[in-house]
Structure 1
Amino acid sequence: MSSFSGLKASRISKESKSYVASSSTSEKSPTTHPLQPSSTEGENADSEQVIYDLPSNIDVRKSNTSGRGLWAKAYHRPGDILISVKPHIAVLSNQYLNSHCSNCFGSSPASSLKRCTTCRTIWYCDSTCQNKDWVLHKRECAALQEWAKVAPSPDVSVPSDAVRCLGRLLWRRQQKSNDGTWVKSVEAMQSHRTSIQSSSFELHTHLSHALVRYLGLSSPQELVEFGLSSARDLVDIISRFITNTFTVTTPTLTPVGASISPVVALINHSCDPNAVVVFPRASDIPSSQEPQMQVIALRAIQPDEEILTSYIDTTLPKDQRQKALQETYNFDCSCDLCKISTEIDPREAIWCPNSCGGTCPAPTEENSLSRCTKCKAIVKNTDAILDARRVGQEALDKATALQFQDHAKAQQLTTNLIPILTSSGLTPSSHPLLALSRLHQSLLISALPSPLTQEALDDAIRAATRSTTGLSAVLTYGHPVRGIALAELGKMLAVDEPMPKEPGSPVEAALMYPPSGAARLKLAYETLVRARKELMVGFGRVNEGGEVGREVREGIVALEKELGVWKQGVRNVLELV
């Protein structure tokens, strides 16, 4: 499960009256798992009695260490679909409202979408999607119109994704029986009302004000019609939302919205997960059932083994992972990856200073002593490495913030810092080099010129290669992020070269990267084959690797034909000679 990234960014000034009880921050934060019922919260005490619509080979259990969770009752292979469910509630992010259908989340050209003529904010594929969504949109439509009337500026004429998702959640709750499974499963999700940290109190306050305003209420008492009898209940529902929200992604893993699924929210966290949550858009799932959330096994899962996903980006080093988990989910991770180990974490590794091929732990402020695990050589330039990592993190933060506002500046930052981190000895999987490489790749691809130039294409390919190399060292085989990265690299290698390069000698040809001509096509083919194998795991074998996996298969078939034509042409030339 991942927190919705736009929560803190979308804040609007509210009335002075607070709907959040000030006592919420006075209690100390317990060190429990986010899905573990707290003894101080009666509303979660009977959560294990909720009947969830789970497959027969998955079970809800409770452990002393991680609280409630999901366990496998049978053996599952990598690529097996463990759970497939449509979220209780899902909303598009504001920037995708006019390019995606708000019902099925399918992407379409603006010219083919149909806009709600009343609120003029929500778009649909067709009348079928519009009619299906009307049960919720009829309330949302009026709320959006009222919000726009009093918006202080065009930038906030539509409420944040979080507010719209919470609004839909409460309107749906109005339509459901308080004794029903739907409401009980939402109430069973973990709330951190009793342990909200001071750093999060402002966020809860702003969300509370915005939600009350969006619902058109004038006092806390009016929340009763939504099943909320007090300010405490309002904080609870917001806390449950923040803790249990999933980011809806496209089949290429681009974040496009937020969703809530109490069943999938039962799954506990590990920084080294055996399963992953994806939205693959499988060919056998009708659009009326989209967006479809699926939990896929990344590794073989044995009977009576707990199913675990990651709530955060696991390419980050341990201290940043722990910080993210504590801030959003209020617990410290003790998974195998976070335990003290004598092995070097590839996320924090540097090459041996003697170039023996071994690696060393990256020096830290607390422990600057570092030596190669292979030849035992001592790293001497620790201050330079520390400075490079610090400057690299600062550049990453700046470039991430600027990537949409000032693309050129963000690209300049990544271009300048990657060589510095590389020359300081960081391995491709080490942070912040890997993160900068991934961002650099994204910036280069989005800036590819038209007409395409050989230099721009080759630069993007080299950046993609650096990213896939780093990802392969830190993520499990078949992880969807690895599969998508390989697919992007393979597709670029398969693009027709604007101006093929002619190496001067066999040695130059062997050293040239990316290669040119037939060697390039062969590499593209091999890369796409690797990508499809991993996509078949990360997005499900039954799904054929999802939408991307099916596209990659078509690319492989096309390359096979192209390589066949090229080989036949060579044979014809040789026969003539």
Structure 2
Amino acid sequence: MAMRPHVWVLSAVNLDQYCSACAGPAPAEGGLKRCPKCKTVRYCNSECQNRDWAWHKRECDALQKWAATAPSAEHAIPGEAVRCLGRILWGSQKEGLDSPWAQEIRMMQSNRASLQPSAFESQTHLAHSVVRYLGVSSPQELEPYGLRSAGDLVDLISRFTTNTFTLTAPSLTPIGICVAPAVALANHSCDPNAVIVFPRSPSASSAKEPLLHVVALREIAVGKEVRISYVDTTLPKALRQKELKEVYSFVCQCKLCSRAVPADPREALWCPKRCGGICPYPTEDDPLTRCVKCNAPIGDTDAVLDALRVGEEALDKATALQFRDPAKAKQLTSNIIPILTSAGVTPSSHPLLAMTRLHQELLIADLPTALSQETLDETVRTAAKYSAGLQSLLPKGHPVRAVALGELGKLLAVDEPSPPSGSDAAGRFPPSGPARLKLAYESLVKAHEELLIGFGKAGGGGQLGREVREAIVRLEKELGVWTSGIRNALEDTRAARAGPSSK
């Protein structure tokens, strides 16, 4: 199922990188056209700008007034939640308060009655920001938007908070937020049978983008619910339940949460005897833990608990520093990953999996300016560990797993700056030369197969599927050149050994 969201906005850091009308990336030639009035939003071309004007007209004035009264340049652009709520309210006026468009917004579930105490402060702050953004000075001035009381505004904010989807690029990179009431009807499961993606299919023109797709990951029987996940399903149960309770006000009782398992791969250690089994994480209350396969006990559980605590703290710090101080963030991930690994934490477990992913992103960001064989190989190894960690958590075809495989394949296909030779290349990972290209090809083929599931077969796996397919074709040609070269060299060698008499 594919549809355009009711409203969407880009996050502030992406306003100069993506079109505010179609959410497409900046064109390679010419870049984006900036709105000459607010100088905040940008567009691919005049067509996108003209198409968005009916929505941007009111927003443009609000952005200018907000910037004029901002205490600093850092706060000159309101947050994405404020801008999205503004578009919802102006859209309700534009479409009509009794229109199906506005009614669908009002039909979304509000959790005002069951709000957690921790949510009151943030929602109150958001309400004040929305009032300021709209430029109203009294509750009566909100009535034209269909808000007749403070409670109506809180209800709207609650509906927005619990029914907003992340707007992503085809690579799953978050670029903003959106609201699609029909899709918000789908309930949650930590083991979902469907996912939400923005694949940018070739059949859809930019005038119809961004197009939200709901894609089935497996067969869904007649009468069964279509279920999506509201949270990151690679997180352990306790963290998933915490977020679901705080944001969505319910306790999840899906199969993944209610089914008892000997060891969750999201919270597991390798067997100390290396039998291939895993051990559940120890806890402060129950430090004794054994391998579920051979029953071998973990020895120093205090060291494991210390490593996990340090890992959690470092992950939070590194995530906060990722864009502000990437060098410091990379130093943290580089130091903590070996500690978690030496403690026996499996690649699929938290916080190692999340730390590995962050380390990969930081390494990739450095590649254009610091491409060396050592850096490239470390990035490949990190991507391989992250992809391997996802294999035991996510089903085949899950977009996150498919994208990770594609990233690994693309990294393996990067030209080696100074490939090792002879004994230096023996038995190492990643391999070098033709073996590296072959591994890149195999990874991309698997990625393409999974992209056709997670991003939709009809659209060829979306934009990312097309890019991976093109990379596969290039590698096929390159591998063909290698094969022909080797075959010709062997024939020349045989001919030289045989001598003239063999002709």
Task: Determine if the TM-score, normalized by the shorter chain, exceeds 0.5.
Answer: yes
Residue of structure 1 aligned with 2:396, choices 474, 477, 480: 477
State the 1:360 CA deviation: 1.0
Residue of structure 2 aligned with 1:390, choices 306, 309, 313: 309
Instruction: Establish whether residue 120 from structure 1 lines up as the match of residue 39 from structure 2.
Output: yes
Instruction: Establish whether residue 375 from structure 1 lines up as the match of residue 291 from structure 2.
Output: no
The corresponding residue for 1:22 is none
After superposition, what is the alpha-carbon deviation per residue over 1:82-129, rounded to whole angstroms, capped at 9, x for unaligned? x10000000111111112111001111594311111111111111111
Residue of structure 1 aligned with 2:10, choices 92, 113, 120: 92
1:106 partner amino acid: G
Whether the 8 Å contact between 2:441 and 2:475 is mirrored in structure 1 is yes
2:118 partner amino acid: S
Partner of 1:353, secondary structure, is: coil
Instruction: Establish whether residue 516 from structure 1 lines up as the match of residue 432 from structure 2.
Output: yes
For structure 2, the 5+ residue unaligned runs are: 494-503
Whether the 8 Å contact between 2:262 and 2:292 is mirrored in structure 1 is no
Superposition pairs of residues 157-172 of structure 1, within 5 angstroms: 157-172=76-91
Note closer, same or farther for the CA distance 1:449–1:553 as it changes in structure 2 (3 Å cut): closer
State the 1:340 CA deviation: 4.2
2:289 partner amino acid: S
1:348 partner amino acid: E
| Structure 1 outlier segments of 4+, above 3 Å | none
Residue of structure 2 aligned with 1:572, choices 466, 488, 495: 488
Superposition pairs of residues 17-56 of structure 1, within 5 angstroms: none
The corresponding residue for 2:499 is none
After superposition, what is the alpha-carbon deviation per residue over 1:399-422, rounded to whole angstroms, capped at 9, x for unaligned? 001111111111011111111111
Whether the 8 Å contact between 2:26 and 2:44 is mirrored in structure 1 is yes
The corresponding residue for 1:491 is 410
The corresponding residue for 1:529 is 445
Partner of 1:246, secondary structure, is: strand
The 10-residue stretch of structure 1 (342-351 or 234-243) with the greater mean CA deviation from structure 2? 342-351
In structure 2, C-alpha distance between the alignment counterparts of 1:91 and 1:203, rounded to whole Å: 20
The corresponding residue for 2:476 is 560
In structure 1, C-alpha distance between the alignment counterparts of 2:485 and 2:433, rounded to whole Å: 13
Partner of 2:367, secondary structure, is: coil
1:260 partner amino acid: V
Instruction: Establish whether residue 324 from structure 1 lines up as the match of residue 240 from structure 2.
Output: no
The corresponding residue for 1:298 is 217
After superposition, what is the alpha-carbon deviation per residue over 1:133-160, rounded to whole angstroms, capped at 9, x for unaligned? 1111110111111111111111111111
In structure 2, C-alpha distance between the alignment counterparts of 1:249 and 1:177, rounded to whole Å: 29
The corresponding residue for 1:333 is 252
In structure 2, C-alpha distance between the alignment counterparts of 1:545 and 1:443, rounded to whole Å: 26
State the 1:451 CA deviation: 6.0
Whether the 8 Å contact between 1:363 and 1:382 is mirrored in structure 2 is yes
In structure 2, C-alpha distance between the alignment counterparts of 1:472 and 1:503, rounded to whole Å: 33
Structure having the larger proportion of residues in helix: 2
Instruction: Establish whether residue 104 from structure 1 lines up as the match of residue 22 from structure 2.
Output: yes
In structure 2, C-alpha distance between the alignment counterparts of 1:490 and 1:317, rounded to whole Å: 28
TM-score (norm 2): 0.96
State the 1:339 CA deviation: 1.0
Whether the 8 Å contact between 2:97 and 2:145 is mirrored in structure 1 is no
In structure 1, C-alpha distance between the alignment counterparts of 2:30 and 2:246, rounded to whole Å: 42
For structure 1, the 5+ residue unaligned runs are: 1-82
Partner of 2:154, secondary structure, is: helix
The 10-residue stretch of structure 1 (449-458 or 408-417) with the greater mean CA deviation from structure 2? 449-458
Superposition pairs of residues 218-229 of structure 1, within 5 angstroms: 218-229=137-148
The corresponding residue for 1:407 is 326
In structure 1, C-alpha distance between the alignment counterparts of 2:109 and 2:88, rounded to whole Å: 16
In structure 2, C-alpha distance between the alignment counterparts of 1:91 and 1:158, rounded to whole Å: 12
State the 1:343 CA deviation: 3.3
The corresponding residue for 2:498 is none
1:107 partner amino acid: P
Superposition pairs of residues 125-524 of structure 1, within 5 angstroms: 125-450=44-369, 452-504=371-423, 509=426, 511-524=427-440
Whether the 8 Å contact between 1:351 and 1:357 is mirrored in structure 2 is yes
Whether the 8 Å contact between 1:103 and 1:129 is mirrored in structure 2 is yes
Whether the 8 Å contact between 1:115 and 1:124 is mirrored in structure 2 is yes
More relative contact order, 1 or 2 (CA 8 Å, 6+ apart): 1
In structure 2, C-alpha distance between the alignment counterparts of 1:292 and 1:208, rounded to whole Å: 29
In structure 2, C-alpha distance between the alignment counterparts of 1:200 and 1:575, rounded to whole Å: 74
After superposition, what is the alpha-carbon deviation per residue over 1:25-75, rounded to whole angstroms, capped at 9, x for unaligned? xxxxxxxxxxxxxxxxxxxxxxxxxxxxxxxxxxxxxxxxxxxxxxxxxxx
State the 1:299 CA deviation: 1.3
Partner of 2:438, secondary structure, is: helix
Whether the 8 Å contact between 1:449 and 1:456 is mirrored in structure 2 is no
Instruction: Establish whether residue 541 from structure 1 lines up as the match of residue 460 from structure 2.
Output: no
Whether the 8 Å contact between 1:421 and 1:433 is mirrored in structure 2 is yes
Whether the 8 Å contact between 1:426 and 1:433 is mirrored in structure 2 is yes
Identity of aligned residues (%): 59
2:107 partner amino acid: A
Superposition pairs of residues 1-80 of structure 1, within 5 angstroms: none
In structure 2, C-alpha distance between the alignment counterparts of 1:449 and 1:173, rounded to whole Å: 46
In structure 2, C-alpha distance between the alignment counterparts of 1:439 and 1:181, rounded to whole Å: 42
After superposition, what is the alpha-carbon deviation per residue over 1:164-187, rounded to whole angstroms, capped at 9, x for unaligned? 000000001012233322111111
TM-score (norm 1): 0.84
In structure 2, C-alpha distance between the alignment counterparts of 1:311 and 1:413, rounded to whole Å: 29
1:261 partner amino acid: A
Whether the 8 Å contact between 2:391 and 2:401 is mirrored in structure 1 is yes
How many matched pairs?
492
In structure 1, C-alpha distance between the alignment counterparts of 2:17 and 2:280, rounded to whole Å: 45
State the 1:342 CA deviation: 2.9
1:522 partner amino acid: K
Partner of 1:556, secondary structure, is: helix
The corresponding residue for 2:501 is none
